[in-house]
Amino acid sequence: MLNNKVAKILIRAKNDPVFFAEHFFKNVKMENYKLEDHQKLFLRDKNPYKILFCSRRSGKTLVMILDILHKAFFRPNQQIALIAPTLEQSKTFANVFNDMILRSEGLRSSFIVDNKLDKQLSNGTRIAFKTAGAASGKKEDSNLVGSGINTLYIDEAQSMDADAMATIMPVVTGQIGQAEIVLAGTPRARTGFFFENILNAKQISECYVNKGIPKRCPTDGKYSLHRFKVTDLDEDDKVIYSKAEYRLSIEELETIKSTIGVEKFRREYCLEFLDSISMPFYSDLIDLAFTAPLPQTFSSFQPACAGIDFGKKRNISSLTIATQTPQLTWEAKYYKRWHLGTKYTDILHYVNNVLPKAFPGLKCIAIDQTGVGNVLTEGVNHNSFYNVLDVIFSQPSKVSMVEGLVSSMENQFITFAPDKLLQKEMAQYSRETTENDRVIYTKGESDDCLDSAMLCNVAINDYIQNGQRRRNPLKMFSLGQNALGNKSYDNTKSRNRYTKKRKRR
Ligand SMILES: Nc1ncnc2c1ncn2[C@@H]1O[C@H](COP(=O)(O)OP(=O)(O)OP(=O)(O)O)[C@@H](O)[C@H]1O
Ligand SMILES: [Mg+2]
C-alpha cells in the first residue's frame, strides 16, 4: 500500500517537474519551495533548447538547478554539465546546488559520487560544474574539450565570448538522442551568441502575457524564450512594481537602483539592452570599424603606431599596432597578447627588439603607465627611432581617449581587423553619467585589448600632431588633442629622416 503511494508520487514527480520541485526540495527556512509562475512555465516547457532571459535575482539559478535535478533523477546515464563564464561563478552555482541537496534528506543517498564540482547518481547520470575560461579568452581553458555532454546549462550566457561558445557547442552534438541546451542570462550588448538567439527565438513565453501561452515567432530560431521582467521604471525613473514582491520589495529595488545607477538598473532589472547613448562602441560602430583586412604577415614597412597595455595582477598584456594607408587613414590589424603570468622581461624584449624590426616604420608607441610603476615602463627603450609616450589613465584622460577613439572610428580614420576579444570588449563597454555629470566607463569582463587600441589611437594622434620628433623620456601624454588629427598630414619628411638615421648607423 505504502509502496503504491510512493510509486504514485514518483510517477507524478517524473511527469511534472514543478511537483517534483515543490515536494522534494526545501528553501533555507526548511519550507517546501513554492515556485513563481515564470519558473513553473520554464520547468514545464519540453522544448530541448530553452533560454531564460530574466532580470537579476529572478530565480534563474534556482530554477536551472531544479531542472538539472529533475533530469538527473529521472533519466539514467546522462551527462549533464553546467557551465559558467568564470570558475568563481561555477563554484557559486555548485554551492547553491549542494545546499539544496543537503536540505533534501530523501535525495542525498542517491549520490554515489558527491564531489563539489562533480557528481554521479546511482542511475549512472553525471553532473559536472565547469567553466569555459571565457574571461581569459583561452580555448584551452575549457575542460569540456573531448567530453560528450547531452544536457548543457549555461549560466550568465551574456558573458560567454564567441570563442568559448565555439568550444562548448560541439560537445553537445553527435550524442545518441537529442541534446538539450538551456541558456540563462540578462541583457548585455546587442551582439553575440546570446543576443542573436534571443532575437531569433522560435517562441516567447511570459507568465504575465496571455496566461503564459507561448507566442510563436516568425523567425525560424531554435530556442524557446522565457522572458521575465521583475520590474520597470516610470518616466521619473521610479520603480513601478515588483513581480516578486514577497522577496524583492519595491524599496529594495529602489536601493539597488541607487547603488548601481539607473542605466545599469534598466539593463539588469528591466531587461533593456544597452542603446547607443550608453554604449560608446555601439554595434553599428563596431560593424563600421572592423573592416580592415587581416594582414598576411605580422610585419609591415608602412608608417606604424602602437599602443601597449601591460597586464596588472589579473589582466593580460595587449599590444595593438596600426599602419598608415596610402589614403593616410590607419588600419589597426596587428594584435599581440601575452597571457597572465608572462614575464615582463619577455614582453619588454618583444617591444624593444622584435617590434621595431618587424615594423621599421614605427613612429610612436603609447604605453599605459597606470598602476604598473616606472620600473616597468622605464624598461621600454625610450631612446629609439620612434617616440615613446608614457600615458597615465586619469578620469579626464580616459574620457578623451574613449571619445577620441569613438570619433576616429565613426570617421573611419581608424579601422580594425576583425578580432573577437577586442570586439567583445568594445561591445561590453558602457558609459554612464553620474548625478554630478561625471562620465564614467564600465568595462565588461576585461578591457585590456580595448585599452591597447585606445593607446594606439593616442600614439597615432601624437604622431600626426607632432610628427616624428625626438623623444623625451619624461614626457607625459597631454590631454585635449583632437582625436581625428589632420588627415592631410604628409609623413614623407619623417620617413626620410628615419631612413637617413638608419643609413648613418
Ligand atoms: N520560488 C522561490 N522561492 C523562494 N526563493 C526563491 C524563489 N526563486 C528564487 N528565490 C530566491 O531568490 C534569490 C535569487 O534567486 P537566484 O539566485 O536563483 O536568481 P538569479 O536570477 O540567478 O540571480 P542573479 O541574476 O543574481 O544570478 C535566491 O536567494 C533564491 O533562493
Ligand atoms: Mg544566478
Ligand 1 site, residue 32, Cβ cutoff 6 A: no
pLDDT of residue 442: 82
CA 240 from centroid of its chain's CA atoms: 30
- How close is the Cα of 61 to the center of ligand 2, in Å? 4
**Cell output for 433:** 553619467
Contacts of 248 (CB under 8 A, 6+ apart): 57, 230, 231, 242
Ligand 1 site, residue 243, Cβ cutoff 6 A: no
Atom of ligand 1 nearest to the CA of 247: 12
For the Cβ of 27 lying below 6 angstroms from any atom of ligand 1, the answer is yes
Nearest CA to ligand 1 atom 30: 59
Q: How confident is the model at residue 484 (pLDDT cuts 50, 70, 90)?
A: very low
Domain identity same for 441 and 471: yes
Q: Are 262 and 360 in the same domain? A: no
Give the residue from 382, 377, 424, 433 showing the smallest Cα distance to 403.
Answer: 433
Closest by CA to 163, choosing from 190, 179, 186, 142, is 142
* Structural domain range at position 462: 283-504
292 and 408 assigned to the same domain: yes
Give the pLDDT band of residue 471 (cuts 50, 70, 90). Answer: very low
pLDDT at 16 over 80: yes
Residue 180, strand partner residues: 151
Amino acid of residue 105: E
Q: How far is the CA of 58 from the centre of ligand 1 (A)?
A: 5
Predicted confidence (pLDDT) at residue 159 exceeds the cutoff of 90: no
| Grid cell for residue 304 | 606604424
Average pLDDT over residues 214-223: 90
> Which of 61, 88, 93, 98 has the most ligand 1 atoms within 8 A of CB, as the residue to mutate?
61
Regarding whether 180 and 37 lie in a shared domain, the answer is yes
DSSP sequence for 346-385: HHHHIIIIIHHHH-TTEEEEEEE-TTT-HHHHHTS-SSSS
Chain centroid to Cα 205, Å, comes to 26
At 3 the pLDDT is: 81
pLDDT digits (tens, 9 = 90+) for 33-66: 999 999 999 999 999 999 999 999 999 999 999 9
pLDDT class for 354, splitting at 50, 70, 90?
A: very high
pLDDT for position 229: 96
Residues 362 and 416 in one domain: yes
Separation between Cα atoms, residue 151 and residue 177, nearest integer Å: 11
Residue 16, domain member (yes or no): yes
Report pLDDT for 278: 72
Q: What is the pLDDT of residue 477?
A: 41
Contact 181, 49 (CB under 8 A): yes
| 22-36, 80-94, 392-406, range with the lowest pLDDT | 392-406
Nearest atom in ligand 1 to 186's CA: 25
**Residues 172 and 128 reside in one and the same domain:** yes
Q: Is 456 in the pocket of ligand 1 (CB under 6 A)?
A: no
Atom of ligand 1 nearest to the CA of 36: 1
Closest atom of ligand 1 relative to the 52 alpha carbon: 21
For the entire predicted model, the pTM comes to 0.61
Q: Which three cell numbers stand for residue 361?
A: 616604420
Residue owning the nearest CA to atom 14 of ligand 1: 57
The confidence score (pLDDT) of residue 283 equals: 82
Q: Verify whether ligand 1 is closer than 6 Å to residue 56 (CB atom).
A: yes
Tell me, using a 6 A CB cutoff, whether residue 369 lines ligand 1: no
Is 498 a domain residue? yes
Any domain includes 331 = yes
Q: Give the tens place of pLDDT for each residue, 106-142.
A: 788 899 988 889 999 999 999 999 887 533 334 454 5
Rounded distance between C-alpha atoms, residue 452 and residue 441, angstroms: 16
Share the mean pLDDT of the chain. Answer: 84
Q: Is residue 278 part of a domain?
A: no
What confidence score (pLDDT) does residue 482 get?
33
- Span of 5-14, 275-284, 456-465 with lowest mean pLDDT: 275-284
Residues of the chain with pLDDT > 70: what percent?
Answer: 83
Q: In percent, how much of the chain has pLDDT > 90?
A: 54
Say yes or no: 247 and 221 in one domain.
no
Q: Would you place residue 501 in the very low, low, confident or very high pLDDT band (cuts 50, 70, 90)?
A: very low
Helices (H), 103-213: 105-108, 162-168, 192-199
The grid cell for 232 is 520597470
- Whole-number pLDDT of residue 322: 98
Greater pLDDT, 215 or 160: 215
Q: Phi first, then psi: give them for residue 348, nearest 5 degrees.
A: -60, -40
Better pLDDT: 345 or 166: 345
Question: Ligand 2 centre and the CA of 35: distance in Å?
Answer: 16
33 CA closest ligand 1 atom index? 3
Residue in the structure block whose three cell numbers are 543576443: 195
Q: Does residue 189 sit within a domain?
A: yes
Model confidence at 298: pLDDT above 90: yes
pLDDT at 52: 97
Residue to substitute in 247, 252, 259 for testing ligand 1 pocket (most ligand atoms within 8 angstroms of CB): 247
Ligand 1 contact via 499 beta carbon (within 6 Å): no
Same domain, 340 and 415: yes
- The DSSP 8-state label assigned to residue 276 in this structure reads T
Quote the number of domains for the chain.
3
- Within a domain: residue 403? yes
Cell 604598473, residue located: 372
pLDDT number for residue 332: 98
In a domain, 249, yes or no: yes
447 Cα–ligand 2 center, Å: 24
Whether 184 and 172 map to the same domain: the answer is: yes
Considering the domain boundaries, does residue 176 fall inside one? yes
Clarify whether residues 65 and 148 are in a common domain: yes
Q: Is 65 helix (H, G, I), strand (E, B) or coil?
A: helix
CATH code, domain carrying 163: 3.40.50.300
| Higher pLDDT among residues 503 and 213, named by residue | 213
Site to substitute for ligand 1 among 62, 68, 156, 264, most atoms within 8 A of C-beta: 62
Between 172 and 208, the more confident residue is 208
Q: pLDDT higher for 429 or 313?
A: 429
Given 273, 306, 333, the domain boundary residue is 273
User: How far is ligand 1, taken at its centre, from the CA of residue 59, in Å?
Assistant: 3
Q: Do 331 and 358 share a domain, yes or no?
A: yes
Same-domain pairing of 353 and 427: yes
Average pLDDT of 329-349?
93
Q: Distance (Å, rounded) from C-alpha 331 to C-alpha 125?
A: 52
Strand partners, 183: 51, 154
User: Which stretches of 230-326 are DSSP H helices?
Assistant: 250-260, 262-268, 283-289
Which residues lie at CB < 5 A from ion ligand 2? Answer: 60-61
Which residue stretches of 16-138 are H helix?
A: 17-24, 37-44, 60-74, 87-102, 105-108
The CATH number given to whatever domain includes residue 323 is 3.30.420.240
Report the pLDDT value the prediction gives residue 499, as an integer from 0 to 100. Answer: 28
Report CA 103 to chain centroid distance, whole Å.
34
Place of cell 513581480: 243
**pLDDT value at residue 350:** 96
Q: What is the pLDDT of residue 478?
A: 37
Question: Distance from CA of residue 68 to its chain's centroid?
Answer: 25
59 close to ligand 1 (CB < 6 Angstrom): yes
